Amino acid sequence: MKHPITPLLTAILAVTVFAAGQLQARPDMARHHGRPDAEMRVAHMSSALGLSDQQSAQLLELFQDVDEERRAMHEQTMELMKPQICELQLVTWTAVNEILDDDQQFQLEEMKASRESDKGHHRSRGMHDLDCSAFE
């Protein structure tokens, strides 16, 4: 029987390998978390390609527009896929708890609570901001 977490682990591995390749190709981005913002992309392109001020301004406007559209699409996708995402999270954390002992489960719950209290200090991180309480 195939374990329900196998597709998730495969996806995580694929993303990790891709990210490692990106960091090797772009070591200047190694300190940045997540996708570089429009300004960082334009700055990199400007130095690599010798862009004029006009070209940089045009690219900045383009990338900012695309970023806004991407954010909107991400929000729509997250809402559309919410039941499946929440089900996967529930299956995952149920399996995690089956592996952990009681003390470890307690510590994990404290870690989750700490992360919840820190949410106001960090920008949105996709699935971590999804409210799955209705699916528990």
Per-residue pLDDT tens for 105-118?
A: 999 999 988 887 77
Tell me, yes or no, whether 73 and 90 share the same domain. no
Reported as a pLDDT band with limits 50, 70 and 90, residue 6 is: low
Q: pLDDT: is 124 or 134 the higher one?
A: 134
Domain annotation covers residue 30: no
Cα gap 15→20, rounded to integer Å: 9
Tell me, yes or no, whether 136 and 95 share the same domain. yes
Residue 75 identity: E
Tens of pLDDT along 20-38? 555 555 555 445 566 789 9
Tell me, yes or no, whether 92 and 116 share the same domain. yes
Tell me, yes or no, whether 64 and 87 share the same domain. no
Domain annotation covers residue 76: yes
Domain annotation covers residue 16: no
Residue 75 domain boundaries:
36-80
Judged against a pLDDT cut of 70, whether residue 90 lies above it is answered with yes
Q: Structural domain tally of the chain?
A: 2
- φ, ψ for residue 22 (rounded to 5)? -65, -40
Which DSSP helix (H) or strand (E) runs through 86?
helix 82-99
Tell me, yes or no, whether 60 and 97 share the same domain. no
